[in-house]
């Protein structure tokens, strides 16, 4: 990709929950677009989407779709990325991939711009966007990592259904209405659409996001473990995660216990967070102010509150981290990467 | 209280969320009752409640209400307990108090029957029922405490609105309907009815239960800290808690990280839990089986699953603990105490 005044951009998964947000952000941010290609599965072919006042027709994503594309934003599931991303790269595009397909590949940078944008320089055509629950956590922990170092993290998540896509949002709404109307609940999508058993999400808490690994952790939990180490470039960081799906539409929340490597001053922690890029501190217990999922919806920032010293461990801090999982957790992080790419021309090593 | 064939029982807060469950349990368990007095605030006076096929009239709770009462189950808020419980004791009743009024008093036993029933022997008339989120956690941790010892606990909770009473249940239902109907949301009760600021609970996660203390933790979180130490009789146990209210009607869930004092075998842990009184293990990841709040509703047990070794700490275990907060978390624990009292005549020291 050479530096240009405007770029040919493709969005793969343009009708999905994340794809829709990417389109909205490219429009709002006035991203310098020459041509925008909206791609999706055969099923969504022909869908009309408005972009800057013009109607665009969604096309089926095929190997031929990527001719002349400079930047391709993939968000249509791991299978689509595995079959098409490398083809897009071969045709000259830089791929920013929002799926789990390549995140742990050694030659694929896993980027959160506030944390490790410089590593995007080493890309070989594909840059991965981390998992939503990881992105918001590492964005908030970055200033603490830089100042004190991080020994271990114990995190429990409170995740919105939109992280599982449009169908999961619909399932929550439908089930909620069914329960309020005293009808039987239909279960088709959650917790994992590809697995046989389904559980009610309305008025419930499901301690499973993605499939289980042999160690008893889910893939979502292991994403938080592995991606955190990779993004900080520090395999010594210990991470324990419990990921839970909840009847929330937009906004993931996280209860984070973090043991720093050095003793800290709580006032300094607050100042570091207040000055950290992409982080907003909402932390005024006396006035019952703390981050809330509903307040985060539609916003680009990561919100941090409930900052408090651990009662027992002198180097431990407790915090509550909230962000819109479709924005900073997905679409915004991807668009941010694209904006950095065109500003800084991170393509020397390609 | 002398040993009798049947007892005069009073329920203070008989029309509340917990009081209703106590009445249902006394009926189902065929508790040996001579006379049942249903007491509540002036507002609920005259309410008719069916008990074993007979209509009982709710009376206003006054000092005179406790004449001849053997066992008084209080669940009408701390203020009512503080004004009437000691009067009931002076008139000869044993009080089982479900509020926070006396829990940390040195001369008041804080009882979870599966953990420390023998301490009820030392009561001076009042026995306290612990906080809902504490009860289910210590019930599940008891066999691990006995076998390995417990060094520290880091818990994040997923709490149902019913823990905040009937009005909070109603608020969740009303707000949910308002959102589905595209109407403005009314906020009157949650997170804390006595505090000025209200937050939407429908489709949200509120990281505040009860008032804040000066250390940045909420009272609910500090209850988990203090009560756990008192119930185990072990102030050395370190506890860090984050308590969160969620759009769930019945059933609290808890993500618990526990560091034991000795290394453990996961199979043995599973067996200890399977044989523990009041505990049911639901833990089959391959078949997507784990405890769910909706499945716990209406049941008396504490459900445990997602058992897994920590990835880093050799003595740490992660688990997911779920129970009906109105039953084992409140009404059932209180009725259990009453059943033990009449079986074992724990009133020597009174």
CB contact under 8 A, B203 and A248: yes
Rounded mean pLDDT of B73-100? 97
Specify burial of residue B263 (Cβ count, 10 A radius: 0-12, 13-18, 19+). exposed
Residue A122: both structure tokens together: 């080493």
Q: Are A195 and A47 within one domain?
A: no
Decide which of A325 and A350 is more confident: A325
pLDDT computed for residue A345 by the predictor: 60
Q: Is the pLDDT of residue B260 over 80?
A: yes
Its sign, for the CA torsion A197, A202, A203, A206, is: positive
Asked if the structure places residue B280 within a domain, the reply is yes
For residue A215, the distance in angstroms to the closest alpha carbon of chain B comes to: 7
pLDDT computed for residue B3 by the predictor: 80
Provide the mean pLDDT of chain A: 96
Q: Are B176 and B105 within one domain?
A: no
pLDDT computed for residue A1 by the predictor: 65
Q: Are A277 and A339 within one domain?
A: no
pLDDT computed for residue B344 by the predictor: 78
The CA distance from B299 to B277, in Å, is 14
E strand residue ranges, B7-120: 7-12, 33-40, 48-51, 54-57, 59-60, 71-74, 94-97
Q: Over the stretch A235-271, which tens digit does the pLDDT of each residue have? A: 999 999 999 999 999 999 999 999 999 999 999 999 9
Q: Over the stretch B270-316, which tens digit does the pLDDT of each residue have? A: 999 999 999 999 999 999 999 999 999 999 999 999 999 999 999 99
Asked if the structure places residue B349 within a domain, the reply is no
Nearest residue in B to A310, CA atom: B240
pLDDT computed for residue B1 by the predictor: 65
The CA distance from A215 to B233, in Å, is 34
- Identity of the residue in B154, B208, B257 whose CB atom sits nearest the CB atom of A288: B208
Q: Are B44 and B176 within one domain?
A: no
The DSSP symbol for B107 reads: T
Asked if the structure places residue A176 within a domain, the reply is yes
Query: Do B266 and A222 touch, CB atoms closer than 8 A?
Result: no
Confidence of residue A349 (pLDDT cuts 50, 70, 90): very low
Q: Is the pLDDT of residue A191 over 80?
A: yes
- Identity of the residue in A154, A253, A288 whose CB atom sits nearest the CB atom of B257: A154
Q: Over the stretch A92-136, which tens digit does the pLDDT of each residue have? A: 999 999 999 999 999 999 999 999 999 999 999 999 999 999 999
Q: Which residues of A are catalytic?
A: 132, 252
Query: Do A300 and A327 touch, CB atoms closer than 8 A?
Result: yes
Options B123, B243, B252, B340, the catalytic residue? B252
Q: Are B186 and B53 within one domain?
A: no
By percentage, how much of chain B surpasses pLDDT 70?
Answer: 98
Residue B290 — φ and ψ, nearest 5°? -160, 165
Q: B295 lies in which domain range?
A: 134-325
| Residue B15, marked binder | yes
Q: Over the stretch A265-318, which tens digit does the pLDDT of each residue have? A: 999 999 999 999 999 999 999 999 999 999 999 999 999 999 999 999 999 999
Q: Are A218 and A70 within one domain?
A: no
pLDDT computed for residue A101 by the predictor: 97
CB contact under 8 A, A197 and B288: yes
Pairing relation of β-strands B7-12 and B33-40?
parallel
Confidence of residue B345 (pLDDT cuts 50, 70, 90): low
Confidence of residue A196 (pLDDT cuts 50, 70, 90): very high
Give chain B positions within 8 Å (CB) of A208: 285, 288, 290
- Identity of the residue in A200, A242, A290 whose CB atom sits nearest the CB atom of B294: A200
Confidence of residue B211 (pLDDT cuts 50, 70, 90): very high
Q: Are A160 and A286 within one domain?
A: yes
Q: Are A318 and A207 within one domain?
A: yes
CB contact under 8 A, B154 and A257: yes
CB contact under 8 A, A242 and B206: no
Pairs across A and B, CB distance < 8 A: 171
Rounded mean pLDDT of A330-339? 98
Q: Is the pLDDT of residue A322 over 90?
A: yes
Decide which of A3 and B224 is more confident: B224
Residue B262: both structure tokens together: 């000795």
Q: Is the pLDDT of residue B15 over 90?
A: yes
Q: Is the pLDDT of residue B29 over 70?
A: yes
Q: Is the pLDDT of residue A16 over 90?
A: yes
Confidence of residue B350 (pLDDT cuts 50, 70, 90): very low
Q: Domain tally for chain A?
A: 2
For residue B155, the distance in angstroms to the closest alpha carbon of chain A comes to: 9
CB contact under 8 A, A244 and B253: yes
CB contact under 8 A, A212 and B293: no
For residue A247, the distance in angstroms to the closest alpha carbon of chain B comes to: 6
CB contact under 8 A, B246 and A158: yes
Nearest residue in B to A317, CA atom: B240
Pairing relation of β-strands B48-51 and B71-74?
unpaired
Rounded mean pLDDT of B134-151? 98
Q: Are A121 and A191 within one domain?
A: no
Nearest residue in B to A243, CA atom: B255
The CATH code of the domain that includes B31 is 3.40.50.720
Three-class secondary structure assignment of B124-183: CCEEECCCHHHHHHHHHHHHHHHHHCEEEEEEEEEECHHHHCHHHHHHHHHHHHHHHCCC
Q: Are B24 and B60 within one domain?
A: yes
User: Residues near B240 by Cβ (< 8 Å), separated by ≥ 6?
Assistant: A257, A310, A311, A312, A313, A316, A318, B152, B153, B154, B155, B225
Q: Are A105 and A155 within one domain?
A: no
Q: Are A165 and A300 within one domain?
A: yes
Asked if the structure places residue A2 within a domain, the reply is no
Give chain A positions within 8 Å (CB) of B239: 311-312
Query: Do A76 and A12 touch, CB atoms closer than 8 A?
Result: yes
Nearest residue in B to A313, CA atom: B238
By percentage, how much of chain A surpasses pLDDT 70?
Answer: 98
Asked if the structure places residue A184 within a domain, the reply is yes
Give chain B positions within 8 Å (CB) of A288: 191-192, 195-197, 199, 208, 212
Confidence of residue A205 (pLDDT cuts 50, 70, 90): very high
The CA distance from A299 to A302, in Å, is 8
The CATH code of the domain that includes A258 is 3.30.360.10
Annotated binding site of A for substrate: 159, 245
| Residue B162, marked binder | yes
CB contact under 8 A, A318 and B246: no
Nearest residue in B to A201, CA atom: B294
């Amino acid at each position: 990709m050479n530096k240009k005044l405007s770029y040919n951009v493709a969005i793969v998964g343009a009708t999905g929950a994340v794809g829709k947000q990417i389109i909205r952000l490219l429009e709002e941010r006035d991203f310098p677009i020459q041509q925008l290609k909206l791609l999706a599965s055969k099923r969504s072919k022909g869908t009309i989407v408005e972009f800057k006042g013009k109607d665009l027709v969604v096309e089926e994503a095929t190997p031929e779709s990527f001719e002349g594309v400079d930047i391709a934003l993939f968000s249509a599931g791991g299978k689509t990325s595995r079959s098409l991303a490398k083809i897009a790269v071969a045709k000259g595009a830089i791929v920013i991939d929002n799926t789990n397909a390549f995140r742990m590949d050694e030659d694929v940078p896993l980027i959160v711009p506030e944390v490790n944008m410089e590593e995007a320089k080493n890309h070989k055509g594909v840059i991965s966007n981390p998992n939503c629950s990881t992105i918001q956590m590492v964005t908030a922990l970055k200033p603490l990592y830089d100042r004190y170092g991080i020994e271990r993290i114990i995190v429990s998540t409170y995740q919105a259904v939109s992280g599982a896509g449009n169908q999961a949002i619909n399932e929550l709404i439908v089930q909620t209405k069914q329960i309020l109307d005293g009808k039987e609940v239909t279960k088709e999508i959650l917790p994992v659409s590809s697995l046989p058993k389904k559980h009610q999400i309305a008025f419930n808490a499901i301690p499973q996001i993605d499939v289980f690994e042999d160690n008893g952790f889910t893939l979502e939990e292991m994403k938080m473990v592995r991606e955190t180490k990779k993004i900080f470039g520090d395999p010594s960081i210990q991470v324990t995660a419990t990921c839970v799906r909840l009847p929330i539409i937009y906004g993931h929340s996280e209860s984070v216990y973090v043991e720093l490597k050095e003793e800290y001053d709580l006032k300094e922690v607050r100042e570091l967070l207040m000055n950290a890029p992409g982080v907003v501190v909402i932390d005024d217990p006396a006035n019952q102010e703390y981050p809330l999922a509903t307040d985060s919806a539609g916003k680009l920032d990561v919100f941090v509150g409930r900052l408090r010293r651990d009662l027992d461990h002198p180097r431990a801090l407790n915090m509550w981290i909230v962000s819109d999982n479709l924005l900073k957790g997905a679409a915004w992080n991807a668009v941010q990467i694209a904006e950095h790419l065109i500003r800084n021309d991170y393509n020397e090593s390609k």
